[in-house]
């Protein structure tokens, strides 16, 4: 009881919403709201008589970070997640603001370092150029110019016509804006062929897709002579292979070709972002990620299971599979789309695999950024074993880009952690230590490994002395 008596003396703040009441005035409400609603858990709301010192606390959920307490007009009251206020005579409302801040970043991490800009390379008359693609700012990429017969290289120029380099094979540093570089050539015949000469020479044409450079040491080769071809992928691209007249010839970056009796055309092909998964189509560029949260609860409850999307570009239709454990089964009647995902029609189908459902979302659009797509309630039975966690899995993702391409996305699974109600230190037992942990938190003193989600023993949404007494009741019942 000595500990409880010091509560009004700790951590007072300047917040004093109204003047003290007259003696005998009835209690008034203190309403606590979270923004966003699923960003965290709040303690301290209720009805209080004026001049009461009230300890309020905001605890951020997984992947959220507490920002500030404000009043309903947006005025900042405190940047401390836990503090003590003095209650006035009126009904008051405080808002706890949380920022989305994944502690284990989903792929991709939004930010300027993941913005890609176009680098286009063009060739003037007399040759070809390679090396264009999509790159982040500050990347060193190779661009290459190849001269036709009787032409020589005259330099690279930018959009303004300024000379950039006189090197045919050039390492260029990309900028934070779209740009075009042009390879220029000039006619300069070395020793023109006499008309009477027999046709023993054949052209070897080298081209490539965006994402790298390709070149040959010769463009006109005598029959039976050799040409050396080499390809170089730029950052973020994977070399797929050399194709001769549209057919895969070799997967080697460099090779020697013996000229036959006819002209030949080789193409080096590159694929953007080799690290991204290739299901269900060619990888995009790791710019989409779907992920689930980790939640803490106790047996006999129904908990939220939100699904989030991180995207660097707008997306349309999408499909994915969710796998749930026996200990946390979904109630599909509770499925709810977030405001940013309104417009989608959602179809849920059970698959041939146990506890695996496929969700198809069609007809809507989500903009770039961090979005909560939907939320499902999970039922955790009374018989669920405590002191362990159960995985909720997402896989087989397919999303549709604005251009109609269907690509995959990165994923991160979630977990449901289950503890006994009252076991706020997670040691598997309910004892006096759990009672003291609650008391210390009520007076604003933090303890290690305190599990707030199972500390509210009477489940009234407020962490207070009654919860400490509730732990004692549990001990007596046992």
- For 94-151, how does the pLDDT look when each residue is reduced to its tens digit (9 = 90+)? 999 888 766 544 333 333 334 667 888 998 888 888 888 878 778 889 998 988 878 8
d(CA 86, CA 157): 69
**Residue 446: what pLDDT?**
59
Nearest to 260 by CA among 195, 200, 198, 196: 200
Nearest to 60 by CA among 78, 40, 79, 42: 40
**Residue 364: what pLDDT?**
92
pLDDT score of 336 more than 60: yes
Antiparallel, parallel or unpaired: β 53-60 and 76-78: unpaired
pLDDT score of 468 more than 70: yes
Whether the CA torsion 185, 186, 190, 194 is positive or negative: it is positive
Phi, psi of 439 (to 5 degrees): -60, -45
pTM of the model: 0.45
Dmax (CA) of the chain: 119
Upper half-sphere CA count for residue 456 (Cβ side, 13 Å): 13
Q: What is the CATH number of domain 2-100?
A: 3.10.20
**Residue 361: what pLDDT?**
93
* CATH 2.115.10.20 matches 288-418: no
The pLDDT tens digits of the residues spanning 142-168 come to: 998 988 878 889 999 998 888 999 998
CA Rg value for the chain: 33
Q: 């092909």: which residue's tokens?
A: 269
- DSSP-assigned beta bridge partners for residue 266: 206, 244
More confident residue, 442 or 170: 170
**Residue 154: what pLDDT?**
92
Query: What is the domain partition of the chain in residue ranges?
Result: 2-100, 112-191+199-272, 288-418, 432-477
- Encode 67-89: b = buried (16+ Cβ within 10 Å), e = exposed: bbbbeeeeeebbebbbbbbbbbb
């Amino acid at each position: 009881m000595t500990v409880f008596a010091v509560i009004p003396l700790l951590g007072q703040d300047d917040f004093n919403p109204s003047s003290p009441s007259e003696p005998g005035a009835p209690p008034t409400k203190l309403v606590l709201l979270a923004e966003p609603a699923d960003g965290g858990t709040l303690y301290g709301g209720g009805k209080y008589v004026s001049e009461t010192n009230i300890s309020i606390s905001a605890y951020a959920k997984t992947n959220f970070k507490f920002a500030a307490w404000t009043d309903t007009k947006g005025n900042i009251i405190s940047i401390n997640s836990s503090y003590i206020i003095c209650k006035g005579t009126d009904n008051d409302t405080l808002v706890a603001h949380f920022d989305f801040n994944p502690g284990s970043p989903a792929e991709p991490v939004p930010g300027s370092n993941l913005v890609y800009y176009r680098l286009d390379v063009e060739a003037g008359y007399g040759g070809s150029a390679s090396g264009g693609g999509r790159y982040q700012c500050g990347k060193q990429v190779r661009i290459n110019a190849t001269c036709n017969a009787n032409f020589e290289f005259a330099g690279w120029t930018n959009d303004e016509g300024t000379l950039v380099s006189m090197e045919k094979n050039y390492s260029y540093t990309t900028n934070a804006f779209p740009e075009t570089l042009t390879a220029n050539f000039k006619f300069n015949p070395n020793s023109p062929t006499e008309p009477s000469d027999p046709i023993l020479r054949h052209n070897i044409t080298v081209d490539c897709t965006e994402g790298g450079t390709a070149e040959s040491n010769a463009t006109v080769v005598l029959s039976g002579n050799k040409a050396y071809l080499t390809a170089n992928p730029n950052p973020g691209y994977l070399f797929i292979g050399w194709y001769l007249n549209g057919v895969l010839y070799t997967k080697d970056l460099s090779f020697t070709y013996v000229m036959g009796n006819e002209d030949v055309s080789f193409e080096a092909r590159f694929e953007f972002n080799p690290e991204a998964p290739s299901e269900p189509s060619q990888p995009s560029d790791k710019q989409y990620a779907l992920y689930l949260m980790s939640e803490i609860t106790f047996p006999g409850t129904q908990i939220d299971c939100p699904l989030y999307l991180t995207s660097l570009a707008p997306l349309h239709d999408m499909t994915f599979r969710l796998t749930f454990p026996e200990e946390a089964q979904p109630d599909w009647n509770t499925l709810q789309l977030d405001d940013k995902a309104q417009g989608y029609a959602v179809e849920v189908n059970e698959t041939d695999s146990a506890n695996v459902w496929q969700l198809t979302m069609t007809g809507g659009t989500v903009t770039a950024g961090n979005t909560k797509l939907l939320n499902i309630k999970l039922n955790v039975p009374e018989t669920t074993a405590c002191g362990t966690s159960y995985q909720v899995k997402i896989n087989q993702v397919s999303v549709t880009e604005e251009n109609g391409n269907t690509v995959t996305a990165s994923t991160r699974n979630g977990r449901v952690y289950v503890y006994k109600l009252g076991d706020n230190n997670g040691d598997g037992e309910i004892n006096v230590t759990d009672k003291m942990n609650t008391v210390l938190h009520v007076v604003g003193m933090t303890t290690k490994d305190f599990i707030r989600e199972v500390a509210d023993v009477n489940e009234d949404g407020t962490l207070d002395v009654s919860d400490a007494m509730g732990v004692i009741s549990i001990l007596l019942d046992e």
